[in-house]
Amino acid sequence: MIRVDEKGFYGKFGGAYIPEMLHPNIEELRENYEQIMATDSFQTEFRSLLKDYVGRPTPLYFASRLSEKYDAKIYLKREDLCHTGAHKVNNTVGQIIMAKRLGKKRIIAETGAGQHGVATATVCALMGMECTVYMGALDIQRQRPNVERMKILGAKVVAATSGSQTLKDATNEAMRQWINNPVDTHYIIGSVVGPHPYPEMVARFQSVISEEIKWQLKEKEGRENPDLVIACVGGGSNAAGAFYHYYNTPEVRLIAAEAAGLGVSSGKSAATTALGTPGILHGSKTLLMQTEDGQVVEPHSISAGLDYPGIGPVHAHLFDTGRGEFVAVEDEDAMKAGIELSRLEGIIPAIETAHALHALNMVEYQKDDVIVINLSGRGDKDLDTYIKWGGY
């Protein structure tokens, strides 16, 4: 069975490895989040906002031309059609309601590709709460449209200038800020990473994705279960959402596409399951890329959202147990897959999602298998990267 235990572990991965000063925050959240989520009033507000504000349910679209090319029945779960352009808003809506009910006045967040930052700034504007988003200086340069969106929404964007100046460093800065402001501040973590209860809480907010896939596929194919579900994984929130209701359905293959960057062995990669070993990263035990003496190895991906040296503990457990199948997709192949979808289906995907699309070339399946690919975000934020890569 794939499930979290009371201490926040999925098998050998998870837990809460945090500074003493953060214990009150984490304990407050751990002791209250399930009780709050279970109330009718929370569920009514959450579901109402998902429907009327986020735009759920998102379509499960049969990609006929993609299906013809790959000789399978390929459905795209259209999270790119969510308000703000990605799945991230499912989680921020849930967490802002949680923060409000815990009496918090101020929100902080980290972001890589900028989509979680935009989604956090969006719900803070909706609820009238102060918002500060930490973002790597490199990511600020390559995801400029999302930086401007955050500012227009009223958020303060703070550059992380240490290390590789990407998602890992933004997370470090956000954690430091939370330690210094423990009483009135809630940290909206954007992925299934961090100390317990964040990985499970975020996965539960994102599980609306697989909840919808089940009934949508029943309508379209007369069955709730696809043969394969494919999603990209950095920290892994979109994958956790797409996999959640299939964790304990072994006949459904769970395919996770990581970023191989310039190649798994190139020294410029973010393929955690290929290169990582167990260790502590951002408050939980998981798989991460590190040196023999435990120093984090700087990751690389052309995709800002996958440029992270670890994966969420639930994904580490899926890999460790063999329940999940992990493939490492190089930059060049991801970019080609993004252009292919654009020209076959008229959908420009986020480069993160493009990694999942290329996985079709890396896994074996049977003719006419039903495959669901989680289209985690749209490519608006990545247009500059597409243009520079393709010379358009």
Q: What is the pLDDT of residues 309-357, one digit of tens each?
A: 999 999 999 999 999 999 999 999 999 999 999 999 999 999 999 999 9
Full DSSP string of 292-352: TTSPBPPP--SSGGG--SB--HHHHHHHHHTSEEEEEEEHHHHHHHHHHHHHHHS--B-HH
Neighbours of 242 (CB within 10 A): 30
Please tell me the predicted confidence (pLDDT) of residue 391.
Answer: 82
Count each helix (H run) and each strand (E run) in the chain, helices first: 16, 14
Answer yes or no: are the C-beta atoms of 357 and 349 closer than 8 Å: yes
Stretch 215-222: mean pLDDT: 98
Q: What is the pLDDT of residues 242-271, one digit of tens each?
A: 999 999 999 999 999 999 999 999 999 999
Question: Residues 6 or more apart from 236 whose CB is under 8 A from it?
Answer: 191, 192, 193, 256, 311, 312, 314, 315
In angstroms, the Cα distances linking 355 to 130, 233, 336, 349, 358 are: 34, 9, 10, 10, 5
Catalytic residues, by residue number, are 88, 110, 376
Which burial class, exposed, middle or buried, applies to 163 when counting CB atoms under 10 A from its CB (0-12, 13-18, 19+)?
middle
Distance CA 35, CA 245 (A): 21
Omega of the bond prior to 57 within 30 degrees of 0, cis?
yes
Sign of the C-alpha dihedral computed for residues 113, 328, 61 and 63 taken in this order = positive
Distance CA 36, CA 263 (A): 44
Distance CA 326, CA 191 (A): 18
Please tell me the predicted confidence (pLDDT) of residue 161.
Answer: 85
Answer yes or no: are the C-beta atoms of 258 and 334 closer than 8 Å: no
Give me 123's structure tokens.
């719900």
Looking at the predicted structure, is the pLDDT value of residue 166 above 80?
A: no
Please tell me the predicted confidence (pLDDT) of residue 210.
Answer: 98
Q: What is the pLDDT of residues 74-131, one digit of tens each?
A: 999 999 999 999 999 999 999 999 999 999 999 999 988 788 999 999 999 999 999 9
Answer yes or no: are the C-beta atoms of 150 and 114 closer than 8 Å: yes
Answer yes or no: are the C-beta atoms of 271 and 260 closer than 8 Å: yes
Q: What is the pLDDT of residues 184-193, one digit of tens each?
A: 999 999 999 9
Please tell me the predicted confidence (pLDDT) of residue 387.
Answer: 94
Q: How many CA atoms lie within 13 A of 271 on its CB side?
A: 21
Give me 345's structure tokens.
């289906």
Please tell me the predicted confidence (pLDDT) of residue 68.
Answer: 98
Question: Residues 6 or more apart from 54 whose CB is under 8 A from it?
Answer: 82, 83, 89, 90, 93
Looking at the predicted structure, is the pLDDT value of residue 305 above 90?
A: no
Distance CA 388, CA 392 (A): 7
Sign of the C-alpha dihedral computed for residues 238, 242, 245 and 248 taken in this order = negative
* Whole-structure pTM value: 0.96
Q: Token match 């954007």: residue?
A: 190
